[in-house]
Amino acid sequence: MRLPTVEDVARTARVSRQTVSNVINTPARVKPATLLRVQAAIRELDYRPNQSARRLRQQKSATIGIRLDPQLNGISGAVLDRFLHSLTEQATERGLRVLLFTAATPTEEIDQIRALRDGADVDAFVLTATFDHDPRPEWLIEQKIPFVTFGRPWGIDDLNDPQHRWVDVDGRRGVYAATLSLLDAGAERVAWIGWPPPTATGDDRRSGWEDAMRERLGLGDAELASLCTEVVDDVAEATNAVANVLAGAVLPDGMVCASDTLALGALIAASTAGRRDIPIIGFDDTPVAAALGISSVEQRLDQVAAGALALLLGPVGDSVVASGALDVAHRLIEPALVLRRPQDLPMFNPSRIDGTAAADKH
Amino acid sequence: MRLPTVEDVARTARVSRQTVSNVINTPARVKPATLLRVQAAIRELDYRPNQSARRLRQQKSATIGIRLDPQLNGISGAVLDRFLHSLTEQATERGLRVLLFTAATPTEEIDQIRALRDGADVDAFVLTATFDHDPRPEWLIEQKIPFVTFGRPWGIDDLNDPQHRWVDVDGRRGVYAATLSLLDAGAERVAWIGWPPPTATGDDRRSGWEDAMRERLGLGDAELASLCTEVVDDVAEATNAVANVLAGAVLPDGMVCASDTLALGALIAASTAGRRDIPIIGFDDTPVAAALGISSVEQRLDQVAAGALALLLGPVGDSVVASGALDVAHRLIEPALVLRRPQDLPMFNPSRIDGTAAADKH
DNA sequence: CTGTTAGCGCATTCAC
DNA sequence: GTGAATGCGCTAACAG
């Protein structure tokens, strides 16, 4: 049982192969009568162009490649998953396919990218999780392989390099908004629970908290430092660290965290200390945060995906354009603050346990 | 800057195109001297076969398609993510690519599969999350499209249909082992926290608990029913439900749960009731369980991925074989019990908060 | 507006 | 062992 080809359609519709091709690719150039006849034949045979042949002919694959991270660290692992989903969905709408690959190290990733490109399997790549001194962008630019990164080029001065297309979430602004929401509610000692610097993403997020605290309360460096806790991204470690904070001299009346992992630790510590009333805001809006009623800063991954494709393909295109063809080569997405009230969940609140739990608005 | 082709390699090595092709595909049939010369030319030009051309010629894509689930099934969402990673990794080792697609409904998924197949984009499909009266396998068999499902064909009598290749995790056996581990430790009233039937997966898992309780303690239906709690897969709901259990007449001395989501609810309820000592075992071994020190039944997703590929490609092959070519058309993977001690995490345990948290062995 | 010509890069016959 | 044809299915360029 062979799949029908242009030839079959042409024979059925009594036209030449090329007319069929025209009907599919440039229908405007075909006389309405024959157009209809050919389309009928296409439907009759349930014909679809063979993509391999089309790709070979057009010298492009209409496929973008993305690496699946090795082992996504803990609770925030779902972020890439959601991004992948948005990206696939929107790529499909634009007539592109998404091809997966894995690599344990940046070097290995480069090898994979080279293989994929050399095999003409992939037209462009989406890189995630950029970091300080990331070797990948430079190599890709040098190789003239189109790409876009989810994440800014950190540490280098080429934030505006048109060669390097990037989309990122404005973590600073998200944390700024989160902090303001606590200050607006009357908090005066909002603590920051973040990662030990230097981490590009973490430092950026912390600066949002700093800005808000400076602007609203006029705090100085020393005061900020006293409200700032640094701990690696681990629930147990965060629990310990925040417990110490809560046992300290200056009791915070709000906590903004660099991740939901830290926020979960903060929640556990606060609950244990009987201070479930201290509002906590995390980052990433993971399912865990939703399940536990923790407020969080949500990365709008659908917008990130849309931005990545727009940078790669142009506003409406369906094939990869050169990096110089766009006026802007980057996009900063504003995150959304998802506020949840602690009482949405009966955690550590025996009085509500027999009541009806509020549904999680997701 | 054109990519090198066989022609370029042939010219460089001073042989014909076909010899180059032979060097790549059947190196045994080439004289060692020319072999070396051609290989040197390949390396020199950094030549790689164009995959589109190869696919067109061979009439196969060496690509498998998998749908990215729309629903982020809460805390357990990462399961598909991990499976995808294993699958991609092992597929790459076998020279296959993994192509993603999305679909909101089974019907839409069928449309996507048809498009992908008709475009000769994909040789075979991996379906996840099979369910009762799943329309997809039947349609795929009818269309003669090779596929394998992660999940048994539920509800039908074709568990052994060689046309339907499937891999699944033996949930019953995992829960059985989990229950036994509690009984071995001296528990006598192990409760089951599961989903309201009928859910194929959930009922299967529950039967593991039932079997263990019957065998070891000789319990009857009524006694089992009194230890069985049914609640939808939601943390808040589970918290309520387990809180009621803990406030009831028969206090369980262990809890085995159908998911980590339920286990998290159980943990919260137990903690709130001051009964953190009651051991809890979840299912899926999610990052959350790891972070909170909850024991869990781990699906060995690397084995599932390996099984899926073995069923599709044969033990060592790199191209899809017909469904009748294998002696067995399915594989049941035994899950692993991951036991964690509650004290691994200082949750709700103020006395340990200033101590060193034990590292999580993952 | 339609049909003719000519490959895209590769692998599978066959001869030699 | 190696090399010469042939065509996979499609579309871009050019004639008509």
H-helix or E-strand spanning residue B142 = helix B135-142
pLDDT at A339: 95
Is residue A351 scored above 50 in pLDDT? Answer: no
Summarize pLDDT for A231-270 with one digit per residue, the tens. 999 988 999 999 999 999 889 999 999 999 999 999 989 9
Strand A336-338 and strand B63-68: the pairing is unpaired
Q: What percent of chain A has pLDDT over 90?
A: 50
Is A348 in Cβ contact with B272 (below 8 Å)? yes
- State residue B156's pLDDT score: 65
Judged by a CB distance cut-off of 8 A, whether residue A302 touches chain B is: no
Tell me which residue in B51, B92, B345 faces A102 most closely, judged by beta carbons.
B92
Question: Closest-CA residue in chain A for B267?
Answer: A347
Under a CB-based contact definition with an 8 Å cutoff, are residues A276 and A270 in contact?
yes
Rounded CA-CA distance B150/B16 in Å is: 46
Number of alpha helices (DSSP H) and beta strands (DSSP E) in chain B? 14, 12
Q: In terms of CA atoms, which chain B residue is nearest residue A104?
A: B89
pLDDT tens-digit map of A317-337: 888 888 776 677 899 999 999
Residue of A nearest to B291 (CA): A235
pLDDT, residue A317, reads: 81
Amino acid residing at B157: D
Residue B361, classified by CB atoms within 10 Å of its CB into exposed (0-12), middle (13-18) or buried (19+), is exposed
Mean pLDDT of A145-149: 94
Residue A322 (CA) to nucleotide C14 (C1'), in angstroms, measures: 45
Nucleotides of C under 7 A from a protein CB: 1-5, 7-13
Confidence of residue B74 (pLDDT cuts 50, 70, 90): low
- Per-range mean pLDDT, top range of A341-345, B334-338, B350-354: B334-338
Dist. CA A48–CA A64, nearest whole Å = 21
Is the Cβ of B236 closer than 8 Å to some Cβ of chain A?
Answer: yes
Cβ–Cβ < 8 Å for B128, B80: yes
Tens of pLDDT, residue by residue over B228-241, are 999 999 988 999 99
DSSP code of residue B348: T
Q: Do B121 and A97 touch (CB under 8 A)?
A: yes
Mean pLDDT for the stretch of residues A345-350 = 44
B108/A contact by beta carbon, under 8 A: no
Closest C1' nucleotide to A21's CA: D11
Q: How many CA atoms lie within 13 A of A188 on its CB side?
A: 2
Residue with the two structure tokens 């800014």: A152
- CA–C1' A40–C2 (A): 19
Q: Is the Cβ of A97 closer than 8 Å to some Cβ of chain B?
A: yes
Nearest to B129 by CA among B73, B59, B182: B73
Read off the pLDDT band of B132 (50, 70, 90). confident
Higher pLDDT among residues B56 and A333, named by residue: A333
The dihedral over CA atoms of A229, A174, A358, B281, expressed in degrees to the nearest 10, equals -50
Q: For residues B88 and B350, what is the distance between their CA atoms, to the nearest angstrom? A: 44
Number of A–B residue contacts, CB under 8 Å: 215
Beta-carbon count within 10 A of A114 CB: 15
**Is residue A147 a contact partner of residue A165, using CB atoms and an 8 Å limit?**
yes
Residue B71 is predicted with a pLDDT of 65
Q: Model confidence over A69-104: pLDDT tens digits? A: 766 656 677 788 889 999 999 999 898 999 999 988
B256-277 tens-digit pLDDT = 999 999 999 999 899 888 888 9
Between B58 and B87, the higher pLDDT residue:
B87
The C-alpha angle B297, B302, B306, rounded to 5 degrees, equals: 130
pTM higher than 0.75, yes or no?
yes
Mean pLDDT of B96-108: 91
| Nucleotide lying nearest to A28, CA to C1' measure | C1
- pLDDT of B358 strictly over 50: no
* Token reading at A158: 């080429």
